[in-house]
Amino acid sequence: MPEDLNWAIGGEAGDGIDSTGKIFAQALSRAGRHVFTSKDFASRIRGGYTAYKVRTSVDRVESVVDRLDILIALTERTIHENEDELHEDSVIIYDGERSTMQDVEVPGDATALEVPLKRLAEDAGGAIMLNVVALGAACEVTGFPIENLDESLEKRFGDKGEAIVENNKEAARKGQHYVQEEYGEFDYDMETTDEDYVLLNGDEAIGMGAIAAGCRFYAGYPITPATDVMEYMTGRVDQFGGKVVQAEDELSAINMALGAARAGARAMTATSGPGIDLMTETFGLVATSETPLVICDVMRSGPSTGMPTKQEQGDLNMTLYGGHGEIPRFVVAPTTVSECFWKTVEAFNLAEKYQTPVFLVSDLAMAVTEQTFSPETFDMDEVEIDRGKVVDENDIDAWLDEKGRFQAHFAAADGVSPRAFPGTTDGAHMTTGLEHDELGRRTEDTDVRIEQVDKRQRKVETAREQEDFDYREFGDPDADTLVISWGSNEGALRESLTLLEEDGYDVRFLSVPYIFPRPDLSAEIEAAEDVIVVECNATGQFADVIEHDVLERVQRINKYNGVRFKADELATDIKETLDAPAEATQ
Amino acid sequence: MSSDVRFTDFKSDKQPTWCPGCGDFGTMNGMMKALAETGNDPDNTFIVAGIGCSGKIGTYMHSYALHGVHGRALPVGIGVKMANPDLEVMVSGGDGDGYSIGAGHFIHAVRRNVDMSYVVMDNRIYGLTKGQASPTSREDFETSTSPDGPNQPPVNPKALALASGATFIAQSFSSNAQRHAEIVQKAVEHDGFGFVNVYSPCVTFNDVDTYDYFRDAIVDLDETDHDPSDRDQAKDKILESDKEYMGVLYQDEDSVPFEEREGVEGSMAEIPDGAPEGAMDLVREFY
Ligand SMILES: Cc1ncc(C[n+]2csc(CCOP(=O)(O)OP(=O)(O)O)c2C)c(N)n1
Ligand code: SF4
C-alpha cells in the first residue's frame, strides 16, 4: 500500500461533492493525518463534472500527484475523467443500481465496488445521504476508523439537530457494513496519530491573517476565486468591531477601502484579474495620497474572463506595473497556505509603515487547496503590529509648519511622512491624487514635483534597508542547477526535488515570496550553471524580472518634473553621465 | 469640538482658481456655513471631492480631505464614515462626476443610506474640460462635442435618487446664500444620506442655464404647501421636468443610517498591539 493515499469523490456540480469531500478531509485531519486537497471544477452551478480530491499521509503532503487510490464516482464521467490516474490497486466505489451506472466499465485492473448508495441511504433515513454511505464504504476499504468520520459528521450537521447527525452516522455504517459483507478484506490500513491538525485553504488563511493583523474594514465584489476571503471575513470581522461591505463593483470596493484606511482603519480589498483591472484606476491615488492599503489579487486564468475556475499566475505584470504613471508599491506573493496567513499580516505592516499600496498576490490553486497544519503554525502570539508613524495630539506639534499646518506629505529623509487619523486635533489636512506639496495641496511646481516623486520613491529604498525581503531555500545548496519559483508552486517543487534526487539530479530550489522589492538573486544565478524559473503562465513574467535584475545595467537619464527634454540640458546630462562612474547615475 | 467655530475656519489659505462669478463659490460658502452651524470643526470633518471644477472644493476648504479620482468620491466617503462614524463626512462633486462616470456609485450610495451629505454642483456642463455636454445638459444644448445638442434627454438625479430609495432629497441654488446654507445644513443634520443638487452656474461655458435663468425659474418650496415627508408629493414635484424647485423635496424622518443598522459602533482606527484577544479561536474553528 502507498504511504500516502489519494482519494476523490466526483460527480456533477450540485451533487454535494465539495461538502462530502470536506467531511472526509476533516475526518482525516482530526485523525491526525496530513491532508492536501484539490478541486476540479467548472464554471457552472449545476451539472458538468466536478471532483474533490484528497491526498493524505501521516507525513506532510505539499502537492497533488497523478495517482488515485480510491474513487467515489457518482457519475460515469467521473471514472473517465480520472482514468489516467487509476492503477491496478485502485478501488472505485459506485452505485451499480443507478440506471446511469449500470454498464460502467472499470478501466484496467482497478477493483470495482458496486454499493447501492441510494438504497442504503434511504434505509438510513433519506436518499440525500448517499454520499455519506459512500464515505462509510471508503472507511471500510481504507481501514479508517469510522469514529473519526462521526466527529466530522457532527461538525458538519450539528446545527441541523441530533436526528440528522444520527441518520448520517447510520448511513455511513450501512456503507461500511455493505462493503465488509460483500467484498471482505482490503489491503489498505490507514494509520492515525494523536496530532491535532487544522485544515484550511489559502483564502481562509488570508482572511484569518487580515483579522489577526487588525484589519477591520473589508470592501469587495464577489469573484472566483477571491470570494472566499470575503465570505470568511463576513461575520467574523464583526466580532472584532469591523465590517465587510459588498460594494457595487471593484472601483467602489477599492475606493471604500481607501476611505476606511484614511479614516485610520486597517483596510483591505480582494479580487481576481478582471477586478484588478477595474481597480487599476485607483492604484495611483492610493500611492500618491500615501494611503496604506492591502489589495489582494487571487489570480485565475486570464486574459479577460479567461477560465475563471482554472489556475494561472498571469497577473504578475499587472500588479507590478498596473496603473498609469509610476507608483511605489510592494508586491508580496505567499508561497504556501500558511504563508497566506503570515504574509497577509506582513502586508498590513508594510502598508502602514511605508504608507503605500501592498499587493498581496495569491492564486486559485492556493485559494481552493485545503491543507493541514498544526495550530501553532498560526500562533497568534507571534503576530506583530506596526502602524508606522502615526501621530496624535501629543506629538503632532513637531509636524506642523510655521503656520500651524500639518505636513501630511512631509518629505522625510526615509520617504515616510507622519500620519494623523481624522479626528486628531490640529491634524486637518488635504490629500489628493494630484501632485501636491508637503501640505497636500495641488502643485505643478517642477521642484516640488521632483521632491514628492523622490520622497515616495525613497520608501522603497528604506524598505530594502529595513526589511528582510528574503527567499526560502530547498534542495542541495551546492547544486549546479538552480530552480526559482514564486507563488503556490513551492509544494510541488519541493516534492519533485525528492523525485529528481532519486534519479541522480541535484537541484537547488529558491522559492521567492517577494516580487517587489525582491531579493537580489544575482549571486545565486551567477553561481549556477543552469537556471530554471518555474511559473504557471505562458510568458515567464517572473523570469523576465529576474533576467532583468542580472543584466548589466544601462545608464539612465530620467526627467519627471513635468517638462519635456531640452537640447542643451540633454547635452549636459549626457556628458555628465559619461564622465561619472556608472553606479552614480542609476 | 469648540462652540466658537466660525465658517471661515473651514477655509484653506489656498485661493480658489474658479472663474470670477462661478457658482461654486456660493456653493462652497454654504457648505462651510452648514458645517459650522451644525457644530463641526475642521478636525472632525472629512470632505471627499471628485474631479472637475467642482471637485477642487476640497483644496479650498480646510478639514481632513481627500480629492480622489473622477466619479469615485462617494465610495471613499462611505469607507471613511463606516470606519469612523464619529466623523462628519461630506462628499462633493459636479454633475458629470456624480451622474455620468459616477452614476453607478450614486444610486448605490443613495440606497446604502450611510449618514453623510452629498452636495452636487450642477452646472449642466463639463467645466474643467472646457465645455462639453454633461448628463444634465439640455437635449438641444450645443457644445464642442455635441454641436447639435446631446440629442438625448437629461438625467433627473432627484428622480434617480427617489427611485433608489433616498431618505433625503433637496435642491438648492448657490446664489441664494441664506437658503442654500440652510438646505445643506438640513442635509448634514439628516440621519442618513443627505443629497443636495445645487444649481451652481458655470459663467464661462453655459450661457443657457445662467443665474438669470435660475433666478426666474426657481420656486422656493417654503413658499408652497409642499410637505417633504409625503413621498407622493415629492415624486410629483421631482417629475415635473419643466420646474425648478429649491428646498427639501423629500425627507424620511424615520431614516436609520446604514452603519447604525449594521451595528458599527465606533472608530475602527483603534486596534490592539498584537492579534486581538481570542484570535486563537479563529484557528480552532478549523479543527
Ligand atoms: C477617468 C477620467 N476621465 C476623464 C477625466 C477628465 N475630466 C476631468 S473633469 C471632467 C468633467 C467634470 O464635469 P463636472 O463633474 O460637471 O464638473 P465641473 O467641472 O463642471 O464642475 C472630466 C471629463 C478625468 N479626470 N478622469
Ligand atoms: S469653467 Fe465654469 S464651472 Fe469651471 S470655474 Fe469657470 S465658471 Fe466655474
Q: Which residues pair with A527 in a beta bridge?
A: none
In tens, the pLDDT along A399-415 reads 999 999 999 999 999 99
| Ligand that lies nearest to the alpha carbon of residue B54, given by its number in the listed order | 1
Residues in chain B: 287
Using a 6 Å cutoff on CB, does residue B96 contact ligand 2? no
User: Candidates B25, B54, B70: which one to mutate for ligand 1, based on the most atoms within 8 Å of Cβ?
Assistant: B70
Q: Is the pLDDT of residue A104 over 90?
A: no
Position A581 scores a pLDDT of: 63
Mean pLDDT across A214-227: 98
Mean pLDDT across A181-195: 89
A384 vs B: CB within 8 A: yes
Q: Given the DSSP bridges, would you call strands A266-271 and A330-332 parallel, antiparallel or unpaired?
A: unpaired
| CB-CB under 8 Å, B282 with A252 | no
**Residue B62 cell numbers, joined:** 480646510
**Closest CA to ligand 1's atom 23:** B129
Atom of ligand 1 nearest to the CA of A281: 1
User: Which residues fall within 8 angstroms of residue A274, CB to CB, at 6 or more apart?
Assistant: A223, A250, A302, A304, A305
pLDDT-based confidence at A583, cuts 50/70/90?
low
pLDDT-based confidence at A188, cuts 50/70/90?
confident
Position B1 scores a pLDDT of: 43
Nearest-Cα distance to chain A for B226, in Å, is 34
Q: Is the pLDDT of residue A154 over 80?
A: yes
| CB-CB under 8 Å, A198 with B84 | no
Q: Is the pLDDT of residue A504 over 50?
A: yes
Q: Is the pLDDT of residue A220 over 60?
A: yes
In the reported structure, the alpha carbon of residue A515 is separated from the centroid of ligand 2 by a whole-number distance in angstroms of 45
Q: State the Cα angle at B15 between A286 and A447, rounded to 5°.
A: 55
Chain A with chain B: Cβ pairs closer than 8 A: 217
A247 vs B: CB within 8 A: yes
Using a 6 Å cutoff on CB, does residue B24 contact ligand 2? yes
Helix H or strand E encompassing A230 = helix A227-236
Q: Is the pLDDT of residue B205 over 90?
A: yes
Q: Which residues of A touch B10 (CB under 8 A)?
A: none
In the reported structure, the alpha carbon of residue B92 is separated from the centroid of ligand 1 by a whole-number distance in angstroms of 13
**Closest CA to ligand 2's atom 8:** B22
Mean pLDDT across A217-240: 97
- The neighbour count for residue A484, using CB atoms within 10 Å, is 23
A198 vs B: CB within 8 A: yes
**Residue B133 cell numbers, joined:** 455636454
Q: Is the pLDDT of residue A584 over 80?
A: no
| CB-CB under 8 Å, B279 with A211 | yes
In the reported structure, the alpha carbon of residue A251 is separated from the centroid of ligand 1 by a whole-number distance in angstroms of 17
Position A40 scores a pLDDT of: 87
Contact criterion met (CB below 8 Å) for B110 and B257: no
Mean pLDDT across B234-249: 96
DSSP string, chain B: --TT--GGGGB-SSPP-SPTT-HHHHHHHHHHHHHHHTT--GGGEEEEE-SSTGGGHHHHB-SEEEE-STT-HHHHHHHHHHH-TTSEEEEEEEHHIIIIITHHHHHHHHHHT-SEEEEEEE-SSBTTTTSB--TTS-TT--BTTBTT---SPPP-HHHHHHHTT-SEEEEEETT-HHHHHHHHHHHHHSSSEEEEEEE---TTT-SSS-HHHHHHHEEEGGGTT--TT-HHHHHHHHH-TT-EEEEEEEE-TT---HHHHTT--S-S----SSSPTTTHHHHHTT-
Q: State the Cα angle at A463 between A418 and A281, rounded to 5°.
A: 75
Nearest-Cα distance to chain B for A561, in Å, is 21
In tens, the pLDDT along A418-455 reads 999 999 999 999 999 999 999 999 999 999 999 999 99
C-alpha to C-alpha distance for B24 and A253, rounded to whole angstroms? 29
In tens, the pLDDT along B81-140 reads 999 999 999 999 999 999 999 999 999 999 999 999 999 999 999 999 999 999 999 999
In the reported structure, the alpha carbon of residue B21 is separated from the centroid of ligand 2 by a whole-number distance in angstroms of 8
| Ligand that lies nearest to the alpha carbon of residue B130, given by its number in the listed order | 2
Nearest-Cα distance to chain A for B166, in Å, is 17
pLDDT-based confidence at B2, cuts 50/70/90?
very low
Using a 6 Å cutoff on CB, does residue B204 contact ligand 2? yes
pLDDT-based confidence at A586, cuts 50/70/90?
very low
User: Candidates B15, B17, B19: which one to mutate for ligand 2, based on the most atoms within 8 Å of Cβ?
Assistant: B19
Contact criterion met (CB below 8 Å) for B49 and A432: no
In chain B, the residue whose alpha carbon lies closest to the alpha carbon of A420 is B64
From A186-195, B63-72, B148-157, B205-214, the region with the lowest mean pLDDT: A186-195
Position B45 scores a pLDDT of: 98
C-alpha to C-alpha distance for A123 and A126, rounded to whole angstroms? 7
In tens, the pLDDT along A276-292 reads 999 999 999 999 999 99
Atom of ligand 2 nearest to the CA of B121: 3
A393 vs B: CB within 8 A: no
Q: Is the pLDDT of residue A553 over 80?
A: no
Mean pLDDT across A364-373: 96
Q: Look at residues A452, A422, A419 and name the one whose alpha carbon lies nearest to residue A434.
A: A452
Q: Is the pLDDT of residue B42 over 70?
A: yes
pLDDT-based confidence at A184, cuts 50/70/90?
confident
Position A450 scores a pLDDT of: 98
From A41-50, A60-69, A562-571, the region with the lowest mean pLDDT: A41-50
Position A189 scores a pLDDT of: 83
Collapsed DSSP state (helix, strand, coil) of residue A582: helix
Q: What is the ipTM of this complex?
A: 0.97
Question: Which residues 257-276 on chain A approach chain B with CB closer than 8 angstroms?
Answer: 257-267
Give the count of alpha carbons within 13 A of A96, CB side only: 10
In the reported structure, the alpha carbon of residue B126 is separated from the centroid of ligand 1 by a whole-number distance in angstroms of 6
| CB-CB under 8 Å, A385 with B273 | yes
| CB-CB under 8 Å, A251 with B263 | no
From A40-44, A217-221, A447-451, the region with the lowest mean pLDDT: A40-44
Q: E strands of A445-574, at which residues?
A: 472-475, 481-485, 507-511, 514-516, 530-534
Mean pLDDT of chain B: 96
Q: Is the pLDDT of residue A1 over 50?
A: no
A252 vs B: CB within 8 A: yes
**Measured torsion, CA atoms of residues A123, A129, A130, A134, in degrees rounded to the nearest 10:** -110
Q: Is the pLDDT of residue A41 over 90?
A: no
Mean pLDDT of chain A: 95
In tens, the pLDDT along A19-39 reads 999 999 999 999 999 999 999
pLDDT-based confidence at A582, cuts 50/70/90?
low
Q: What percent of chain B has pLDDT over 70?
A: 99
- Select the residue from B11, B78, B283 to test the A interface by mutation, using most A Cβ atoms within 10 A: B283
In the reported structure, the alpha carbon of residue A449 is separated from the centroid of ligand 1 by a whole-number distance in angstroms of 23
Q: Look at residues A99, A43, A96 and name the one whose alpha carbon lies nearest to residue A73.
A: A96
Using a 6 Å cutoff on CB, does residue B205 contact ligand 2? yes
Position A103 scores a pLDDT of: 82
**Residue A16 cell numbers, joined:** 454535494
| CB-CB under 8 Å, B46 with A212 | no
**Residue B118 cell numbers, joined:** 452629498
- Alpha-carbon distances, residue A48 vs A44, A86, A101, A128 (angstroms): 7, 21, 16, 19
